[in-house]
Amino acid sequence: MYSLERLGWSEFFSSQCKQTETNSELVAARVAGENREMYRLLSANGEFMAEVSGKFRHEIQSRADFPGVGDWVLASMRSTEGRATVHRVLARKSKFSRKIAGKKTEEQIVAANVDLVFAVSSLNSEFNLRRLERYVSLAWESGATPAIVLNKCDLCESAEEFRAEAESAAMGVRVILASAVRGDGIAEISEMMCGQSKTTASGAPPTALTAALLGSSGVGKSSLINSVLGKELLDTGSVRDCDDKGRHTTTTRQLIVAPGGGLLIDTPGMRELQLWDAREGIAQAFGEIERLAAMCKFRDCKHENEPGCAVQAAVEARTLDVERLESFHKLAREEKFLAAKQDSAVRAAQTKSLKTMMKQVNRFYRDRGR
């Protein structure tokens, strides 16, 4: 059993609870797992399986109003059964969400109330500043504070140089050199998750921070999480429970209390946010083609088979590599895909970083033209 502070409870949430609510039998709890509208709640009274109340469901405006992993809720507990009913979701301090396709595109919460985002890169050929910058801006957009983790420093002889490079690219963002294999940087990560003050002047217990990791597949996120959790290895197995109707439901543990303090959110949805990695290198092709596109006959030319297409003409004349055009088309398809898939905040971050990239590309051509 944990204190509310150990679960990340803070003034931000307590100030939302009206006197009448705190006096009633409603209890604050944190959503640690979700599966088909069954929620695993952690509270000062222990762990509960919960569903939302009928009234809550009736009053809900959109999918994003449903509880998500990391949310703080007010629930009524039936301690003897270990079950609970969610009556309210407290306002979120930060959120990661995605758009899901259905009758209409709806926002779905991927992770709520994340305080710290570790943007992870590994110190080998995967190292890419642009990518790190995108993870950092994604973190800021969510409302969380980013930090950069450069993992696999055991494989790299010039780790400090990479650190300096990352520090100058992401001003004011803390950079940690880590090795999940050797143990470097793990204490630093754990310490950040514990919050600012281990002992506060007022004697109040410190609020644990909630962290999430963003990074391409293979950079060592799972290994880092396991190192931070120590012996309590990341529980990827799911827990089976029976609901009221006797059906079996599973809720995976997606929010984990770290033994050294702090909490970790690791949901499949968070890992999916890394989709836009694919646009790597495509932005460069973009600048070149955009310049040619200005000379196409039709303003909305897609550079496929349209007459008077300057881009196709450049391919024919071998002044433009056909692979570059293919990359461009790939980007266009991806853009469409992302537009359907992702939340506007995420997209805003991407547009911003794409604009920055575009500026760099344009500068490159301007300088070359001199």
Contact 37, 69 (CB under 8 A): no
Length in residues, the chain: 370
Whichever of 107 and 184 has its CB closer to ligand GDP, that residue is 184
Name 335's Cβ contacts closer than 8 Å, sequence gap at least 6.
none
Tell me how crowded residue 102 is: count the other CB atoms within 10 A of its CB.
9
Whichever of 8 and 215 has its CB closer to ligand GDP, that residue is 215
What the block records as the tokens of 107 is: 């926002």
Residue 223 near which of Zn ion, ligand GDP, none (CB within 5-8 Å, type-dependent): ligand GDP
Nearest to 127 by CA among 91, 96, 163: 163
Closest CB 235 distance from ligand GDP, rounded Å: 15
Residue 14 near which of Zn ion, ligand GDP, none (CB within 5-8 Å, type-dependent): none
Measured CA to CA, the distance from residue 252 to residue 37 in angstroms comes to: 12
Whichever of 27 and 219 has its CB closer to ligand GDP, that residue is 219
Tell me how crowded residue 218 is: count the other CB atoms within 10 A of its CB.
11
296 counts as binding Zn ion under rule CB under 5 A: yes
**Which ranges constitute the DSSP H helices of the chain?**
11-14, 19-23, 54-59, 129-142, 159-169, 186-193, 221-229, 268-272, 282-293, 310-316, 322-341, 344-369
The pattern of x and - marking residues 209 through 248 that bind Zn ion according to CB under 5 A reads: ----------------------------------------
Contact 121, 170 (CB under 8 A): no
Nearest to 292 by CA among 308, 305, 276, 277: 308
Whichever of 53 and 223 has its CB closer to ligand GDP, that residue is 223
Residue 181 near which of ligand GDP, Zn ion, none (CB within 5-8 Å, type-dependent): ligand GDP
Stretch that binds Zn ion, among 57-65, 187-195, 245-253, 288-296 (CB under 5 A): 288-296
User: How far is C-alpha 4 from the geometric centre of its chain's CA atoms?
Assistant: 24
Q: Which of 86, 309, 320, 361 binds Zn ion (CB under 5 A)?
A: 309
Whichever of 122 and 350 has its CB closer to ligand GDP, that residue is 122
Residue 179 near which of Zn ion, ligand GDP, none (CB within 5-8 Å, type-dependent): ligand GDP
Whichever of 37 and 304 has its CB closer to Zn ion, that residue is 304
Closest CB 293 distance from Zn ion, rounded Å: 6
Question: Given the rule CB under 6 A, which residues bind ligand GDP?
Answer: 151-152, 154-155, 179-181, 215, 217-223
Q: Phi then psi for 242, rounded to 5 degrees?
A: -100, 135
Whichever of 154 and 188 has its CB closer to ligand GDP, that residue is 154
What the block records as the tokens of 79 is: 């301690």
Measured CA to CA, the distance from residue 236 to residue 255 in angstroms comes to: 11
Residue 357 near which of Zn ion, ligand GDP, none (CB within 5-8 Å, type-dependent): none
Whichever of 268 and 307 has its CB closer to Zn ion, that residue is 307
303 counts as binding Zn ion under rule CB under 5 A: yes
User: How far is C-alpha 189 from the geometric centre of its chain's CA atoms?
Assistant: 17
Stretch that binds Zn ion, among 115-123, 242-250, 270-278, 295-303 (CB under 5 A): 295-303
The pattern of x and - marking residues 112 through 151 that bind Zn ion according to CB under 5 A reads: ----------------------------------------
Residue 152 near which of Zn ion, ligand GDP, none (CB within 5-8 Å, type-dependent): ligand GDP
Measured CA to CA, the distance from residue 344 to residue 346 in angstroms comes to: 5
Residues within the interface to Zn ion (CB under 5 A): 296, 301, 303, 309, 311
